[in-house]
Amino acid sequence: MFRISQYLRDLATAERTGSYPALPARRGAGLPGPVVIWNLIRRCNLTCKHCYALSADHEYAGELSTQEVFTVMDDLRAYRVPVLILSGGEPLLRPDLFDIADRAKVMGFYVGLSTNGTLIDAPMANRVARARFNYVGISLDGIGAVHDRFRRLEGAFDLSLAAVRHLHERGVKVGLRYTMTDLNAGELPALLQLMHDEGAEKFYFSHLNYAGRGNIHRGRDAHFIATRRAMDLLFDTAWRDAQAGSPREYVTGNNDADGVYLLQWVRERFPRWVEPLRQHLQAWGGNSSGVNVANIDNLGVVHPDTMWWHHSLGSVRERPFSTIWSDTSDPLMAGLKQKPRAVGGRCAQCQHVAICGGNTRVRAQQVTGDAWAEDPGCYLDDAEIGLDARAAGATERVAVTPFKSARSARIEDIPVVSS
């Protein structure tokens, strides 16, 4: 996750005081475990076009029982996991969701809820408020019919917007979650306006990642020029808020080249702060899959992050999460934990790899078959990464080819996978 507001608040401080804030203390041995995103249930009342979990509205056999979830929570706490993000499917469909959330709060976790919002009417909002979630993220991919088309449910936008309002009336911190593709790239200005109008505390901008239905629809990924325009708009908006002292937060996910792009944005406007910003960005280090962010799926299988459901690290039914997470006998896990990562292609030649960490390995793996190839989702051009495309040894960029199933089916014909 790339925290735009954090860097722009530092920049605002630097502009105001003439001094750039110091680097935060470094993480090291004995410090907290990863943030765990936990897909407690795969069932969902929606079948969204970009769903990495390929969820549908039916039961999935073999999901963790309440007691199994509690046992895992004990291990996570002992492993010093600081944050649990309860997700799905639609987590509110899990009957014991509030028991799990209550226990997580009592144990001292920061607890987030990631929901499509369509099930949050006034009574449900009361329950969510009583559960004392630290944060509730509600997905909105556009205004009105655009969102409904993405979510494949007429009226989904109205239901989700009503959820935002119900929760705000009850004092719950709410953020909007938006995933951009070429189908909804034009919705960003209106969604940012909606965020301001509704008083939402956070805006999470997700680039498309190539997992689940997001991989099936990867041919609809936003063009680089649209991505750059979107980032310009996000930076400009977050900068205005940072200067005004607003607590609103803007974050992005699934494309760590955003850090490099912010460095360029600052170079063009505030060149004297480029070097301190670069140091802060390098301290962040970009992609943290398999390191500072982890995923447990509905069956208890651990993955390097939510986009790696096709790669299992082991089951919490067989080994504790803490054991699985620290085991680097898995080559992918060993590679993700290596610093710097042994990325190839143009990422290996990029002068900013210390900032972005080589970006999102899932996209590289899904498109090329090699998890360490260049990230085809990097929207920076050769000059921006310090690469001379005419130099000897320079190679063509990897193209994002449309997804093809093993049976070469049409996208519409690909069935939802059930377990």
Write out the DSSP string of 347-371: HHH-TTHHHHTT--HHHHHHHHS-T
What is the token pair recorded at 333?
Answer: 């896990």
- How near is the Cβ of 377 to ligand SF4 at its closest, in Å? 8
Distance of closest approach, residue 345 Cβ to ligand SF4, in angstroms: 8
d(CA 87, CA 116): 10
Question: Cβ of residue 6: shortest distance to ligand SF4, in angstroms?
Answer: 19
Give, in order, the Cα–Cα distances in Å from 13 to each of 4, 24, 91, 277, 295.
14, 15, 39, 12, 35
Which residue in 72, 371, 378, 398 binds ligand SF4 (CB under 6 A)? 378
Residue 110 neighbours by CB distance under 10 Å = 15
Smallest separation, CB 393 to ligand SF4 (Å): 15
Looking at residues 340 to 359 of the shown chain, list those that interact with ligand SF4 (rule: CB under 6 A): 346-347, 350, 352-353, 356, 358-359
Stretch that binds ligand SF4, among 155-163, 304-312, 331-339, 378-386 (CB under 6 A): 378-386
Answer yes or no whether residue 221 interacts with ligand SF4 by CB under 6 A. no
Q: Does 380 bind ligand SF4 (CB under 6 A)?
A: yes
Mapped to the 3 state alphabet, what secondary structure does 26-50 carry? CCCCCCCCCEEEEECCCCCCCCCCC
Nearer to ligand SF4 among residue 9 and residue 341 (C-beta): 341
Residue 115 or 255: which CB sits closer to ligand SF4?
A: 255
Does residue 286 have a cis peptide bond before it, meaning omega lies within 30 degrees of 0?
no
Task: Report the residue number, 160 or 227, with the smaller CB distance to ligand SF4.
Answer: 227
In the complex, least distance from residue 210 CB atom to ligand SF4, rounded to whole angstroms: 14
The site for ligand SF4, by CB under 6 A, has a size of 15
Residues 6+ away with beta carbon under 8 Å from 242: 5, 8, 9, 11, 12
Q: SS3 for 236?
A: helix
Q: Please say which residue, 15 or 382, places its beta carbon nearer to ligand SF4.
A: 382
Q: What is the DSSP letter of 389?
A: T
Minimum distance between the CB of residue 209 and ligand SF4, rounded to whole angstroms?
13
The torsion region of residue 278 among left (phi > 0), alpha (psi -120 to 50) and beta comes to alpha
As a whole number of angstroms, the distance between CA 36 and CA 86 comes to 9
Q: Which is nearer to ligand SF4, 299 or 348 (CB)?
A: 348
CB of 395 to ligand SF4, least distance (A): 12
Give the Cα separation of 254 and 2 in Å (integer).
Answer: 9
Give φ, ψ of 127 to 5 degrees: -65, -45
Interaction residues for ligand SF4, span 231-260 (CB under 6 A): 257, 260
Is 262 among the residues that bind ligand SF4 (CB under 6 A)?
no
**Which tokens is 306 given?**
């939510």
Residue 285 as a binder of ligand SF4 (CB under 6 A): the answer is no
Residue 385 near ligand SF4 by CB under 6 A? yes
Q: Which residue, 134 or 292, has its beta carbon nearer to ligand SF4?
A: 292
Based on the shown chain and the rule CB under 6 A, indicate whether residue 131 belongs to the binding site for ligand SF4: no
Closest CB to ligand SF4 among 217 and 352?
A: 352
User: Minimal distance in Å, beta carbon 320 to ligand SF4?
Assistant: 34
Task: For residue 64, give the H/E element and its range.
Answer: none
Nearer to ligand SF4, 136 or 347 (CB): 347
Q: Is 163 in the site for ligand SF4 (CB under 6 A)?
A: no
Contact 174, 200 (CB under 8 A): yes
Half-sphere exposure of 63 (CA within 13 A, CB side): 21
According to DSSP, the residues that pair with 114 across neighbouring strands are 137
Residue nearer to ligand SF4 on the CB measure, 143 or 387: 387
By C-beta, is 84 or 355 nearer to ligand SF4?
Answer: 355
Least distance to ligand SF4 from the beta carbon of 156, Å? 33
Residues near ligand SF4 (CB under 6 A): 257, 260, 346-347, 350, 352-353, 356, 358-359, 374-375, 378, 380, 385
